[in-house]
């Protein structure tokens, strides 16, 4: 049975993670794992050597108070983790997902993530995290690191869930593009009722090579039983794709995390980053 790994921090984006994760779990008959990592950086505050300035007794008293405070913080962190995972379990089961596994390691998300991603077929994470209200135009700190370090498809979700009816594949005829085609064909049974749009951005409408590539792509997906529409777009890739999403009321975007033009494998491609920042729909990224 396929496994979908949901990475949550309990922020306002968590419900979107759970509901989109549940949508895919139902479609692909998958089980879900919810990963909430208790941050290892929440350590006791050191008093240093204060015996000279405070006196030995005062320093010991301060240290005792800090230790007791840290114990209370640890209890609260455990309680918070339990409540976050209980909420995830309730939402997923209310959405029709029966197999839910709750995971709560201590450490750093990016490090702990690799302990669990090996058995996952898809990773789901929110577009932003706990500091979303302070950085509404930015992506969560962990998205780029996770996308860069995993070979699994990563679904980046918005805060609010909306039913998925129309899917857009931003196709560029790259090895990653072919990987997305295989993903769609392999999961065609769960996607048959959706409109699948395939768009390629070319330098001009007379680009015959891009046109032939689109026709071949459409034929492949139609053989899998999917209903497809193709479009040859021109202009700036980010603007062209964003405009297409708005005009056709697309509810899920599929694209490669990197394009042909990337020079180094250190950052997500510029078009991908801009679309992730501006898009109000979930984006399924492939490497």
What's 242-267 look like in SS3? HHHHHHCCCCEEEEECCCCCCCCCCC
Residue ranges of the domains in the chain? 1-161, 162-287
- pLDDT for the residue numbered 132: 46
CATH code of the region 1-161: 3.40.50.620
Cα distance between residue 22 and residue 20, in whole Å: 5
**Whether the domain at 1-161 and the domain at 162-287 fall into the same CATH topology:** yes
CA torsion angle for 173, 176, 178, 183 (degrees, to 10)?
Answer: -140
- pLDDT for the residue numbered 128: 67
Give me the tens of pLDDT residue by residue for the chain, a chain 287 residues long: 899 999 998 888 999 999 999 999 999 999 999 999 987 765 444 445 555 555 556 667 777 777 777 778 878 888 999 999 999 999 999 999 999 999 999 888 778 888 899 999 999 999 865 444 434 444 556 777 787 788 899 999 999 999 999 999 999 888 888 999 999 999 999 999 999 999 998 887 777 788 888 999 999 999 999 999 999 999 888 889 999 999 999 999 999 886 544 433 334 456 677 778 778 899 999 98
Domain range 162-287, its CATH number among 3.30.420.10, 3.40.50.620, 3.90.79.10, 1.10.730.10? 3.40.50.620
Q: Provide the whole-model pTM.
A: 0.83
Given a contact cutoff of 8 angstroms between Cβ atoms, the answer to whether 81 and 104 are in contact is yes
Relative to beta strand 252-256, strand 283-286 is: parallel
């Amino acid at each position: 049975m396929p496994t979908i790994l949901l990475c949550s921090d309990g922020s306002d984006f968590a419900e979107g993670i759970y509901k989109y994760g549940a949508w895919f779990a139902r479609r692909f008959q998958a089980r879900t794992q919810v990963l909430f990592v208790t941050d290892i950086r929440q350590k006791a505050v050191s008093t240093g050597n204060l015996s000279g300035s405070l006196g030995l007794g005062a320093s010991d008293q301060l240290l005792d108070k800090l230790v007791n405070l840290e114990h209370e913080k640890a209890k609260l962190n455990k309680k918070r983790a339990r409540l976050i995972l209980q909420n995830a379990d309730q939402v997923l089961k209310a959405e029709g997902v029966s197999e839910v596994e709750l995971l709560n390691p201590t450490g750093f998300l990016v490090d702990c993530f690799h302990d669990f991603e090996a058995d996952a077929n898809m990773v789901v994470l929110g577009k932003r995290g706990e500091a979303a209200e302070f950085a509404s135009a930015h992506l969560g700190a962990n998205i780029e690191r996770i996308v860069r370090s995993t070979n699994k498809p990563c679904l980046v979700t918005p805060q609010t869930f909306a039913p998925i009816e129309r899917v857009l594949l931003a196709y560029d005829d790259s090895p990653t593009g072919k990987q997305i085609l295989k993903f769609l064909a392999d999961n065609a049974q769960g996607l048959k009722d959706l409109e699948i749009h395939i768009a390629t951005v070319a330098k001009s409408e007379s680009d015959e090579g891009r046109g032939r590539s689109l026709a071949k792509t459409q034929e492949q997906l139609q053989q899998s039983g999917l209903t497809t529409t193709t479009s040859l777009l021109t202009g700036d890739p980010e603007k062209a794709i964003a405009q297409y999403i708005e005009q056709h009321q697309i509810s899920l975007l599929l694209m490669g995390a990197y394009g042909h033009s990337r020079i180094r494998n250190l950052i997500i491609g510029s078009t991908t980053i801009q679309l992730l920042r501006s898009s109000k729909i979930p984006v399924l990224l492939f490497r």
